[in-house]
Structure 1
Amino acid sequence: MSTHDAERRGVGRAGVPGPRTGPAPGSARADELGAKAPRSPGRPSQALSSRTRTRLAAGTLLTPFFALFTVTMIVPVGYALWLSLFTEKQSGLGFDGPRTVFDGLGNYATALGDQAFRDGFRVLLGYCALYLPLMIGGAIALALLLDSALARARRFFQLALFLPHAIPGLIAALIWIYLYTPQLSPVVAAMEAGGIGFDFFSSEGTLPSIVNIALWQWLGYNVVIFYAALQAVDRSLLEAATVDGAGNWRIAFSVKLPLIRSSLVMVLLFTVIGSLQLFTEPLILSRGSGSAVTSTWTPNMYAYSAAFERNDYGLAAAASVLIALVAAVLSYLVTRFTNRRKEARP
């Protein structure tokens, strides 16, 4: 074998291995090539650790919410359910004071059998029949007006409409008692000067008066929601409708309103739930002289009266649970009805 062949085979003249053609082990070039070598895909340990970190981060972020939700929602509801199953009764001749005993569904039967509690729901029915169309219709009309090209000073009107919602309830109560009291109110004096006699505290005027207060406080809030939804509508769709010859009314009712359907459903749902919780407005009018509003005029006032005037906390808890059940059923019916109409459309 020649020397040239031996060197090619890696053997020197004296049997010493010839020079290597690749990089030496441990060298920087070998480390670089090793780093560039493809690794086996899908290491389970790395994927598991990544999922664990994601779950840990999600749990850390959600823990404050669930803790607050449990403290402010789950615990009070559970305590109300527990409290509604008990009542206080006098023992013997009553010298030992009242004692708490298990009553089962007795408080629920008492609340449902009370005519005042049932009349409160009739009041709510009339209130919703008057309040919901005015609230939803008025908020939509004002939002469409603000969104139109005819509106001027949008910021001013948005602030003016939203400002009543930011006024504290105590100040609002003083304002409306002043405006409704005949001997003090300039509004009542102007109406009487014009030959219009209207008693805001009478049995016929109580419901419109309460609806007026609620509209004053919540109309601007809903206008802001509708206006924000209208601002998110794609302007190219409105321009296309204009090019096709659609007028302002057709654009408003055939283009804009269908596109803000989710906001309409949300406002309707919240308004229905808020109507069932009617309490502040009638409480304001009950402070007026000669008011027709009683302490049990609405279901919430009935529960308040049972708890803080009659000290019957079991009955108050049962009435509150019944109000919550009615609100849940109505919420389900509203969402179900709106979803069916949405699915029925082609």
Structure 2
Amino acid sequence: MTVVAPEAETGRPTGASPGPARPPRRRSRLAPLVLAAPFALLLIGTVLVPIAYALYLSLFTERLSGLGFDGPHDVFVWLGNYADVLGDPAFRESVGNVAVYALVHVPLMLGAALALALLLDGATVRLRQVWTLAVFLPYAVPGVIAGLIWAYLYSPSIGPLNDALPWDPLGSDGALPSIVNMATWQWTGYNMIIFYTALRTVPREVLEASTVDGAGPIRTALAVKVPMIRPTLFVALVFTVIGSLQLFTEPLVLRSFSSSVTSTWTPSLYVYEAAFISNDYGRAAAASLLLALASALLSALVMRLSTRRSR
């Protein structure tokens, strides 16, 4: 029988140090890029390119030259559109309307959603699935349809709420509460499902320990459950604040039924009026970028507060 020496099998003498490791394959280097390519293309095509185009439009405006026989032409005005938007009383009033709306809607809607989620998680109600579906059902209704439903309910001629409420829901003092009610009715169930899902992830042994320590249902909910789902609460808060700044559907529908809701009642309506009614695309682009900047700053502020709170 022939015995083969180790060096004959490996091609190098016994005891010799192994050669340098082979470099990683080129295919493994390209794999992360290939996987990230769809997201990168969507980000560029749906976010970065529209923002860049809006920024370009915000630097120009249309003006007539001479006697106007040549038609309007684009004129570079640098930051003139931004100055016009910030100096417009209608835009400042729309920002004030949205600020008051957010101060009322955000705590009311998130508080109601959290309370309903705690009730469902605490097993204090029967027919849990039926109640969950009933509260979540308004979110399934399209925003325009929901706005029309509430507008007819507010109508002084055929609506039952006009006589039941102590104020005029379509008047100057009742338009804001009416819009808050419409948005709260639609979004409470959506956030309730998010909070309820987060509550189901709370370890049961933690809840049992709090019960053994003598904590009641209310104290367990406030001292144990709510702190453990704090990250979910802050995420919902960020999205709700952004949605409040972008308020559009409810006042747009209600504007056809109430003279108190003007065409520039919110910043989104202001952008819509500037772009598609006045055809002033430069002013509309400037207002939309200012709105996007405000949304980004508020989101960063809320996330910073949530991180500091978690620490």
TM bracket, shorter-chain basis? over 0.9
Aligned with 1:251 (options 185, 206, 220): 220
Quote the Cα distance in structure 2 between the aligned partners of 1:55 and 1:68: 22
Counterpart in the other structure of 2:267: 299
Q: Residue 163 of structure 1 aligns with which residue?
A: 137
Question: TM-score by structure 2 length?
Answer: 0.93
> Cα gap change, 1:42/1:152 in structure 2, threshold over 3 Å: closer, same or farther?
farther
Name 2:286's counterpart in structure 1.
318
Alignment partner, residue 92 of structure 1:
66
Match of 1:44 in 2: 21
The code of the aligned residue for 2:266 comes to: T
Letter of the 2:42 partner, please give it: L
Q: Does residue 23 in structure 1 map to residue 16 in structure 2? A: no
The AA in structure 1 aligned to 2:21 is P
In 1, distance between residues paired with 2:116 and 2:151?
A: 27
RMSD: 2.3
Q: Which of the residues 23, 26, 35 maps onto 1:61?
A: 35
Corresponding residue for 1:70?
44
> What is the CA distance between 1:56 and its match in structure 2?
2.1
Distance 1:42 1:137 in 2: 66
Residue identity matched to 2:215: A
Letter in structure 2 aligned against 1:241: S
Deviations 1:73-121 (A, max 9, x none): 0100010001000000001111111001111000000000101101111
Pair member with larger Rg = 1
- Which aligned pairs between 1:102-141 and structure 2 lie closer than 5 A? 102-141=76-115
SS in 1 for 2:75: strand
User: What's the secondary structure of 2:24's corresponding residue?
Assistant: helix
Query: What is the identity percentage for the equivalent residue pairs of Structure 1 and Structure 2?
Result: 55
Alpha-carbon distance, 1:158 to partner? 1.7
The answer for unaligned runs of 5 or more in structure 1 is 1-21
* Cα drift, residue 329 of structure 1: 1.1
Are 1:223 and 2:202 counterparts? no
- Structure 2: stretches of 5+ with no match in the other structure: none
- C-alpha change, 1:232 and 1:38, in structure 2 (3 Å) is farther
Distance in 1, Cα, partners of 2:144 & 2:307: 39
Note the C-alpha offset of 1:41.
6.0
Q: Return the alpha-carbon distance in structure 2 between the equivalents of residues 231 and 42 of structure 1.
A: 55
Counterpart for residue 15 of structure 1: none
- Between the two proteins, the alignment pairs up a number of residues equal to 309
For residue 172 of structure 1, the aligned residue among 126, 146, 150 is 146
CA shift in 2, pair 1:268/1:38, >3 Å = farther
Matches within 5 A, 1:137-148: 137-148=111-122
